[in-house]
């Protein structure tokens, strides 16, 4: 029993005496990516414009594959400079210089049949070369709201019709009362 205890203590001392892992080298810092439209709500049938930004803080230029995935219920409509476009995604292949940013704008149209209160997430990821594993990703989340315009005229027609009917009924009642 004493030898097992001594072995465990020796192992713990050896682990504690190990040097700390070295700090990450400057060229191992991840890239920063962001995507956003500045809002939290979308309207069915309308376009949403996003700004996509990739920042390279590494000491050397980085060639990337940047991919944006659109959710079900939204499809890309304007994707400036995209090298590959599908019905639910867009892709770019920028080379970002050290300490610099690469950016573009893109937009997607929300389908008219997207239900109220559905959350739509647009995700952007940066990949080194043709790696299947993303180096960094960002997501912008919006919730669909009922479009105030488009159907407002129906409400005005109904209200106007009710007011007109009430006015006509009052005129007829007044004429009948006079005699």
- Domain holding 162, by residue range, is 148-179
54 and 142 both lie in a single domain: yes
CATH of residue 46's domain is 2.60.40.1530
Asked if the model's pLDDT at residue 172 lies above 60, the reply is yes
Over range 109-117, report the average pLDDT: 88
114 and 156 both lie in a single domain: no
Helix (H) or strand (E) segment spanning residue 75: strand 74-79
114 and 45 both lie in a single domain: yes
pLDDT tier, 162 (very low <50, low <70, confident <90, very high otherwise) = confident
Q: How many residues does the chain have?
A: 179
Is 116 among the domain residues?
yes
Asked if the model's pLDDT at residue 154 lies above 80, the reply is no
Is residue 32 packed enough to be buried (19+ CB in 10 Å), middle (13-18) or exposed (0-12)?
A: middle
pLDDT tier, 80 (very low <50, low <70, confident <90, very high otherwise) = confident
Position 59 scores a pLDDT of 92
Distance (Å, rounded) from C-alpha 138 to C-alpha 87? 20
């Amino acid at each position: 029993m004493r030898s097992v205890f001594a072995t465990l203590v020796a192992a713990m001392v050896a682990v504690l005496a190990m040097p700390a892992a070295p700090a990450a080298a400057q060229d191992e810092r991840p890239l920063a990516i962001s995507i956003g439209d500045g809002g939290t709500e979308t309207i069915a049938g309308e376009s949403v414009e996003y700004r996509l930004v990739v920042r390279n803080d590494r000491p050397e230029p980085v060639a990337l594959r940047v991919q944006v995935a659109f959710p079900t219920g939204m499809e890309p409509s304007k994707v400036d400079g995209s090298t590959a476009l599908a019905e639910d995604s867009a892709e770019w292949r920028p080379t970002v210089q050290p300490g610099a940013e690469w950016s573009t704008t893109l937009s997607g149209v929300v389908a008219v049949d997207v239900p109220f209160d559905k959350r739509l997430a647009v995700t952007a990821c940066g990949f080194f070369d043709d790696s299947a594993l993303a180096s960094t990703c960002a997501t912008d989340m919006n919730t669909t709201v009922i479009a105030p315009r488009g159907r407002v005229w129906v409400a005005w027609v109904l209200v106007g019709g009710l007011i007109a009917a009430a006015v006509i009924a009052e005129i007829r009642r007044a004429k009948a009362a006079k005699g």
